[in-house]
């Protein structure tokens, strides 16, 4: 009875272990096939991506942009994928312009399928071809092609061509059993390359039923007869990049033999376990009770915070396999718990991000409302003046008012119309700058002259009558657009005048430091609060505003200034100690390489204008 009570549990455990072993071995073999197919697919995709990267680099070649095809031929040859590959450049008609497989001065043929070139240029999408036959090449090949636009604006298709044997070499370094077959097929089922292949293959297609399975899913397992009539397990992976599929096939007999080898070991262990149980019933029974007790405790502790413990080591292989199964189940459960905790944490993080995004959207909406209010205020003033002026003109025409009154009314109309035009121009200018549609006409100018000219313009217009201007300007040649740089300086000076009290000083300084031309404008105005300082270059940002504002403007001037300075390769910074402490604006531009004209002499000393 004791021996029976021992033998029966052992037999049950051994059966479970045997089934797990059989399943695991068969699954392991199929995983090996799958991993081999996926690894080979990644290798093929990597080769295609490398080819695409080389083509993109060649598309930006200065030789190609300048039309120097001989030099481009040399560059393409140097960038070629190596033995078994060459690069071809086509125009829209399918005419080869460059072919690194042939000498530069060789006569190049017309592509037999020019419509493919036109389709790529029209769609802007490259292709990875299937197996093709080259009429002049007299052999099969495949291509990786990209439509490009050169710096000169020419539309071309550049192609990296490969012989099939090029891809066959990708399998040499893979640890795949010699009896397994690795094949690469194109989207029509034609075999491109096979492991161990030295020469280019004939255009052989796989069996129609196998092709149908491959085309129906991105990957999968199938059992079928090979071309030699051998039953094989195959795993295929279809590449989304190229449309090709990699098929790894292993003989069914070889897989079954590995499983049977595992079964023989398990059966031998089963017989030994039963014989030992029958011979040593009592002793084994006691050990079995202790083992089962430990396994039971471990099973109850599955998924706990700590790994299971208390499993007694057993010399019986099947029972030790049970220990391994319990440990594996415990690890999986704890991993699942960790995964769920990670998902929960990720969900909480997404909620935080969603709240932040909503708050940002609300701030943006508030900024929009504030801008619309500012715009309405800025438009209302000139429109009210225009309406009043029109009413006065109507009254004057009826009552016979003196001509001087009509002249004053027309002056009001002109001034307010100019103000409206300035507002609209500012909005359009910032929009063009932010969209990158501004064009610069650069030439060498002296930043000091530009600053001097802006000051003189403001002085001539009477803008400086209530302020004292101190100008210290040293020669600082830069390469820039004179009109845009004057626009930058005018905006900075306009802000300094607008936000500085009457009688205060504004210091303007132009110097050269560390190879950079530097313009500094320092005022004694209202300054900038610390919380607003990081945002002054954003569109429509101003200080705290109400609809009854002391200063006009839409808050877009500094945005345009920053964009213009950056287009000149320079930087702009604003510093302020706080409200009522004044502001310092610093613009730095690269100094031009060539020396400036001889008349660029330092002009120092204060230039003042007082009321």
399 pLDDT higher than 90 = no
* pLDDT at residue 143, rounded to an integer: 93
**pLDDT tier at 434, thresholds 50, 70, 90:** low
Query: Is the confidence at residue 89, as pLDDT, over 60?
Result: yes
Quote the pLDDT of residue 371. Answer: 67
pLDDT of residue 603: 40
Most confident of 73-82, 193-202, 289-298: 73-82
Mean pLDDT over residues 532-536, rounded?
83
Dmax of the chain from CA atoms? 137
Task: Give the lowest-confidence range in 23-32, 41-50, 388-397.
Answer: 388-397
Mean pLDDT of all residues belonging to the chain: 81
pLDDT of residue 147: 95
pLDDT at 338 over 90: no
Position 601 confidence tier, pLDDT thresholds 50, 70, 90: very low
Whole-number Å distance between alpha carbons of 78 and 252: 46
- Tell me the percentage of the chain whose pLDDT exceeds 90: 30
Rg value, the chain, Cα: 41
Contacts 24+ apart (CB under 8 A), 93-102: 93/117, 97/69, 97/156, 98/69, 98/72, 98/73, 100/73, 100/76, 101/137, 101/161
Q: Check residue 120 and give its pLDDT.
A: 93
CB 164 within 8 A of CB 142: yes
Domains located in the chain, CATH noted? 169-257 (3.30.450.20), 281-436 (no CATH), 438-590 (3.30.565.10)
Nearest-angstrom CA–CA distance, 51 and 59: 12
Indicate whether this model's pTM tops 0.85.
no
pLDDT bin (cut points 50, 70, 90) of residue 245 is very high
Using CA atoms, how far residue 526 sits from 491, 492, 501, 537, 538, in Å, is 17, 15, 8, 18, 20
Give the confidence band of 25 by pLDDT, cuts at 50, 70, 90.
confident
- At 507, is the pLDDT very low, low, confident or very high (cuts 50, 70, 90)? very high
Q: pLDDT tens, 298-335? A: 776 776 667 777 677 777 777 778 878 877 887 788 78
- Cβ contact 255:177 at 8 Å: no
Give the range with max mean pLDDT: 395-399, 450-454, 460-464. 450-454
- Does position 597 have pLDDT exceeding 60, yes or no? no
| pLDDT at position 608 | 40
pLDDT-derived band at 611, boundaries 50, 70, 90: very low
pLDDT at 202 over 60: yes
Q: How far is Cα 53 from Cα 47, in angstroms, rounded to an integer?
A: 10
More confident residue, 370 or 236: 236
> Using one digit for the tens of pLDDT, what is the confidence trace for 543-595?
544 333 445 455 567 888 888 899 899 999 999 988 889 999 999 999 987 54
Q: Which of 157-171, 339-353, 508-522 has the lowest mean pLDDT?
A: 157-171
User: Is residue 516 pLDDT above 70, yes or no?
Assistant: yes
* Cα–Cα distance for residue pair 491/585, rounded to 1 Å: 11
3-class SS at 278?
helix
Report the percent of the chain where pLDDT is more than 70. Answer: 78
Give the residue among 254, 186, 173 at the shortest CA–CA distance from 214.
186
Judging by beta carbons within 10 Å of its beta carbon (0-12, 13-18, 19+), is residue 593 exposed, middle or buried?
exposed
pLDDT, tens digit (0-9, with 9 covering 90-100), for 371-384: 666 666 667 667 76
């Amino acid at each position: 009875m004791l021996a029976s009570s021992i033998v029966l549990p052992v037999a049950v455990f051994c059966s479970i272990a045997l089934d797990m072993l059989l399943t695991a071995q068969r699954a392991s073999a199929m995983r090996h096939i799958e991993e081999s197919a996926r690894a080979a697919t990644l290798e093929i995709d990597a080769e295609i991506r490398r080819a695409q990267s080389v083509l993109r680099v060649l598309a930006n070649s200065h030789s190609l942009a300048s039309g120097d095809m001989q030099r481009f031929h040399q560059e393409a040859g140097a960038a070629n994928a190596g033995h078994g590959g060459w690069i071809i450049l086509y125009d829209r008609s399918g005419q080869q312009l460059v072919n690194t497989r042939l000498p530069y001065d060789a006569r190049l043929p017309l592509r037999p399928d020019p419509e493919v070139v036109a389709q790529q240029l029209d769609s802007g999408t490259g292709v990875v071809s299937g197996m093709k036959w080259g009429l002049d090449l007299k052999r099969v090949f495949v291509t990786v092609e990209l439509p490009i636009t050169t710096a000169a604006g020419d539309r071309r298709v550049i192609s990296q061509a490969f012989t099939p044997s090029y891809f066959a070499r990708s399998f040499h370094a893979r640890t795949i059993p010699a009896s397994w077959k690795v094949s690469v097929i194109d989207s029509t089922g034609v075999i491109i390359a096979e492991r161990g292949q030295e020469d280019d293959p004939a255009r052989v297609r796989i069996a129609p039923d196998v092709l149908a399975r491959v085309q129906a899913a991105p990957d999968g397992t199938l059992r079928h007869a090979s071309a030699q009539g051998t039953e094989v397990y195959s795993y295929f992976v279809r590449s989304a990049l190229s449309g090709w599929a990699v098929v790894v096939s292993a003989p069914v007999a070889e897989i079954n033999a590995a499983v049977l080898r595992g079964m023989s070991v398990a059966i031998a262990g089963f017989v030994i376990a039963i014989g030992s149980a029958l011979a040593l019933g009592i002793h084994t029974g006691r050990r079995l009770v202790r083992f089962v007790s430990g396994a039971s405790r471990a099973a109850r502790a599955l998924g706990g915070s700590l790994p299971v413990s208390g499993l007694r080591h057993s010399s019986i292989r099947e029972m030790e396999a049970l220990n391994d199964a319990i440990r594996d189940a415990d690890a999986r459960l704890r991993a699942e718990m960790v995964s769920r905790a990670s998902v929960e944490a990720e969900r909480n993080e997404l909620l935080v991000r969603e709240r932040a995004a909503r708050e940002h959207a609300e701030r943006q909406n508030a900024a929009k409302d504030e801008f619309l209010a500012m715009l309405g205020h800025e438009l209302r003033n000139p429109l009210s003046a225009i309406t009043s002026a029109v009413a006065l003109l109507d009254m004057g025409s009826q009552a016979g008012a003196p001509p001087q009154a009509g002249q004053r009314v027309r002056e009001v109309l002109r001034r307010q119309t100019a103000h409206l035009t300035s507002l609209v121009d500012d909005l359009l200018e910032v929009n063009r700058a932010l969209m990158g549609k501004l064009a610069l006409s650069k030439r060498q100018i002296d930043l000091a002259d530009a600053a001097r000219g802006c000051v003189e313009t403001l002085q001539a217009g009477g803008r400086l009558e209530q302020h004292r201007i101190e100008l210290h300007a040293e020669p600082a040649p830069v390469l820039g657009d004179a009109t845009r740089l004057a626009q930058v300086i005018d905006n900075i000076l306009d802000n300094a005048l607008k936000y500085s009290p009457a009688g205060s000083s504004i210091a303007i300084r132009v110097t050269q430091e560390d190879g950079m031309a530097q313009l500094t404008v320092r005022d004694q105005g209202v300054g900038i609060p610390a919380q607003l300082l990081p945002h002054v270059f954003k569109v429509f940002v101003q200080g705290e505003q109400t609809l009854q504002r002391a200063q006009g403007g839409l808050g877009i001037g500094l945005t345009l200034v920053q964009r213009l300075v950056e287009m000149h390769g320079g930087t702009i910074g604003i510093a302020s100690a706080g409200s009522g402490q004044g502001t310092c604006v610093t613009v730095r531009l690269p100094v031009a390489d060539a020396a400036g004209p001889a008349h660029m002499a330092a002009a120092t000393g204060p230039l003042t204008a007082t009321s």
